[in-house]
């Protein structure tokens, strides 16, 4: 925030660059205000007003929207709740166009008072439900079922018949709703455990979720999380799947979608607008690859490599070997991402230092990702990838997001 304030005082082009950098970080409240003021200031405006490609007018608009995400003033009882010394305050936002919460994990002590400020600056509506440990799928499927009835389209997707499994529920908030902010105040459960929170808009619950860790002692939290991490089931080989039992009922497809997230496919692939586009968009992969062939690309990524996403090996004049995915090329040099699972770690090679460049035969998609899945989960994953979701769960995300997610690389 200090930097934002200083930037308008300095008023140079590098100061503007620094401000643009601030936009890559989470921002809210006072910071959003400082950014709006700095970018809108006369001294910085000079550097951007003739450069529409920077899109600053749009950034300013979104910053002022962030500013509009203030929580409503508390009533008397709420103010009293908020004044408790051991109050835990968590602000959970929605990452625009990503179908993710900004906070995917937080910890509280058993019985501790909790205030969750839920805000949604996204272009899509979302809600936020805290559910009993292990109840996520049951509540999610019930919300899916609600989508069959068009009457529910503008409802909150809080399945009433599952109330006993729901601890707390914030209604749908967002652009088509009354509000973009909702505050939940509650006492954390007395029983330690991992309590999922989730957006139950049909289909969202598989991806858009987080976990509230409730512990007697916060020192237990790491161990509780570690115990819940997916464990290796088996080092699956193609030979383990002589027969594939591909079921296409809704529950199997949703389980396949969950497996897609559990095996971390969403870290590199988009499907119907969900996930990250470091690898090919898999939304319509079933039209090209099916059954055993599709399974093979997952179990043996290097067997056949999609040309557009090939990895390259560079040998420098000093004999250094760098292998990875080409994230960008310019006259100055080449940005290489050695490991797509950590896409922020880039190596920049200057043209002059590159002696040799050749295609690598190893895919940048890691092997063994599905080893944390059971046979049934893998089969469901294949089913999910090669079949369309039932009509009532297709609500235009893919279409609406299409094209917005330019692939990060420019290697073609």
Residues that bind ligand HEC (CB under 6 A): 263-265, 267-269, 278-280, 282, 285, 289, 294, 297-298, 301, 305-306, 309, 340-341, 363-366, 369-370, 381
CB of 366 to ligand HEC, least distance (A): 6
Which of 186, 164, 369 has the alpha carbon at shortest distance from 279? 369
CB of 401 to ligand HEC, least distance (A): 18
Per-position b or e across 352-377, b if 16+ CB within 10 A of its CB: eeeeeeeebeebbbeeebbbbbeeeb
Beta bridge partners of 211: 105, 196
Which of 236, 246, 275, 274 has the alpha carbon at shortest distance from 370? 236
Which of 172, 168, 120, 122 has the alpha carbon at shortest distance from 146? 172
Identify which of residues 78 and 376 has a Cβ nearer to ligand HEC in the complex: 376
Whether the Cβ atoms of residue 35 and residue 27 lie closer than 8 Å to each other: yes
Name residues whose C-beta falls within 8 Å of residue 263's C-beta, 6 or more positions apart in sequence: 369, 370, 372, 373, 381
CB of 307 to ligand HEC, least distance (A): 8
Distance, CA of 153 to CA of 16 (rounded, Å):
43
Q: 347-350 and 354-359 as β-strands: parallel, antiparallel, unpaired?
A: unpaired
CB of 377 to ligand HEC, least distance (A): 10
Identify which of residues 215 and 382 has a Cβ nearer to ligand HEC in the complex: 382
Whether the Cβ atoms of residue 165 and residue 243 lie closer than 8 Å to each other: no
Identify which of residues 306 and 317 has a Cβ nearer to ligand HEC in the complex: 306
Identify which of residues 314 and 384 has a Cβ nearer to ligand HEC in the complex: 384
Identify which of residues 126 and 274 has a Cβ nearer to ligand HEC in the complex: 274
**∠ CA(325), CA(328), CA(332), 5° rounding?**
125
Identify which of residues 173 and 381 has a Cβ nearer to ligand HEC in the complex: 381
Identify which of residues 127 and 364 has a Cβ nearer to ligand HEC in the complex: 364
Distance, CA of 79 to CA of 44 (rounded, Å):
40
Identify which of residues 289 and 349 has a Cβ nearer to ligand HEC in the complex: 289
CB of 354 to ligand HEC, least distance (A): 22
Distance, CA of 202 to CA of 387 (rounded, Å):
17
CB of 147 to ligand HEC, least distance (A): 25
CB of 369 to ligand HEC, least distance (A): 4
Identify which of residues 11 and 286 has a Cβ nearer to ligand HEC in the complex: 286
Q: What is the DSSP letter of 338?
A: S
Distance, CA of 374 to CA of 316 (rounded, Å):
43
Distance, CA of 215 to CA of 222 (rounded, Å):
10
CB of 379 to ligand HEC, least distance (A): 12
CB of 289 to ligand HEC, least distance (A): 6
């Amino acid at each position: 925030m200090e930097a934002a304030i200083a930037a308008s005082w300095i008023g140079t082009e590098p100061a503007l660059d620094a401000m643009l950098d601030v936009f890559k970080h989470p921002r809210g409240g006072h910071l959003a205000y400082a950014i709006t003021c700095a970018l809108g200031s006369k001294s910085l405006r000079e550097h951007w007003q003739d450069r529409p490609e920077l899109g600053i007018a749009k950034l300013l608009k979104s910053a002022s929207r962030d500013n509009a995400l203030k929580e409503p003033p508390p009533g008397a009882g709420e103010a009293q709740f908020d004044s408790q010394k051991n109050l835990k305050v968590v602000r959970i936002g929605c990452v625009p166009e990503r179908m993710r919460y900004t906070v995917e994990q937080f910890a509280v002590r058993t019985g501790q008072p909790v205030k969750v400020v839920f805000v949604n600056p996204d272009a899509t509506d979302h809600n936020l439900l805290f559910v009993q440990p292990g109840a996520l799928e049951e509540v999610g499927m019930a919300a899916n079922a609600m989508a069959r009835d068009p009457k529910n389209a503008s409802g909150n997707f809080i399945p009433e018949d599952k109330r006993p499994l729901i601890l707390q529920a914030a209604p749908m908030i967002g652009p088509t709703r009354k509000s973009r902010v909702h505050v939940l105040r509650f006492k954390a459960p007395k029983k330690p455990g991992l309590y999922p929170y989730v957006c139950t808009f049909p289909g969202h619950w598989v991806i858009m979720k987080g976990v509230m860790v409730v512990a007697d002692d916060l020192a237990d939290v790491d161990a509780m999380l570690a115990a819940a991490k997916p464990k290796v089931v088996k080092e699956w080989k193609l030979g383990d799947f002589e027969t594939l039992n591909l079921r296409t009922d809704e529950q199997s497809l949703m389980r396949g979608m969950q497996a897609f997230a559990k095996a971390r496919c969403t870290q590199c692939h988009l499907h119907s607008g969900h996930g990250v586009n470091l690898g090919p968009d898999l939304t319509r992969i079933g039209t090209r690859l099916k059954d055993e062939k599709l399974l093979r690309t997952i179990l043996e990524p290097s067997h056949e490599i999609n040309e557009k996403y090939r990895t390259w090996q560079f040998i420098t004049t000093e004999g250094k070997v760098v292998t990875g995915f080409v994230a960008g090329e310019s006259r100055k040099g080449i940005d290489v991402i050695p490991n797509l699972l950590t896409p922020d770690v880039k190596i920049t090679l200057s043209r002059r230092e590159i002696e040799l460049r050749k295609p690598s035969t190893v895919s940048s998609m890691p092997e063994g990702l599905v080893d944390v899945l059971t046979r049934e989960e893998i089969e469901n994953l294949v089913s999910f990838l090669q079949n369309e979701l039932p009509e009532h769960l297709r609500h235009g995300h893919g279409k609406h997001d299409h094209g917005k997610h330019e692939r990060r690389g420019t290697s073609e």
